[in-house]
Amino acid sequence: MTRIDETRTFIPVGIAVLTVSDTRTLADDRSGDTLVQRIAEAGHSLIARAIVADDRAAIYDQVRNWTLSDEIDVVITTGGTGFTGRDVTPEALEPLFEKRMDGFSALFHRISYKKIGTSTIQSRATGGVANATFIFVLPGSPGACKDAWDEILRPQLDYRHMPCNFVEIMPRLDEHLRRGGKA
């Protein structure tokens, strides 16, 4: 089963948080605040934080720009994963993915089901990799952000987490680009 290998040194990663909302500001962004607090408590570095409207181009451009930064290893978005006309975050970001992370969505829904039952199907949480950067697309509720961070992202972003974790594969995420090939 999983464990923390205390002989390994913790390696902080650079994280950017994007809230997707037509109505939120930094003053009332509870989901973004939840992620920022947990990132700091885990010992990682918050490199950037922003809020953009529910607009495909704005979401895509912000995340793409962050994936081009050498300082940012992970982008976490919150909001815009539902089914209303304004919910466009997966549509904005999935075209950016070089590789999808279907297991993230499956595990997120399993965890969420234990807490909110069948209501979990109203989220289109997803994840992937672009430009050697992990991208996680979370629902806009603080509870969903807590669940995703506490139960999936915190352990996977800890180099000491065994048997494997995201941090140890970060240096190899762009191998296909260095070989001149496609994902």
Q: In sequence order, what are the beta bridge partners of 162?
A: 3
CATH code of the region 9-178: 3.40.980.10
Q: 3-state DSSP call for residue 60?
A: helix
- Structural domain boundaries in the chain: 9-178
**Cα–Cα distances in angstroms (integers) from residue 15 to residues 22, 61, 75, 82, 83, in the given order:** 23, 17, 6, 24, 27
For residues 49 and 26, give the distance between their C-alpha atoms in angstroms, rounded to a whole number: 9
For tokens 């140890």, the residue is 168
Query: pLDDT tens for residues 44-62?
Result: 999 999 999 999 999 999 9
Confidence of residue 101 (pLDDT cuts 50, 70, 90): very high
pLDDT (0 to 100) of residue 175: 80
Mean pLDDT over each residue of the chain, to the nearest integer: 95
Query: pLDDT tens for residues 110-130?
Result: 999 999 999 999 999 999 999
Confidence of residue 90 (pLDDT cuts 50, 70, 90): very high
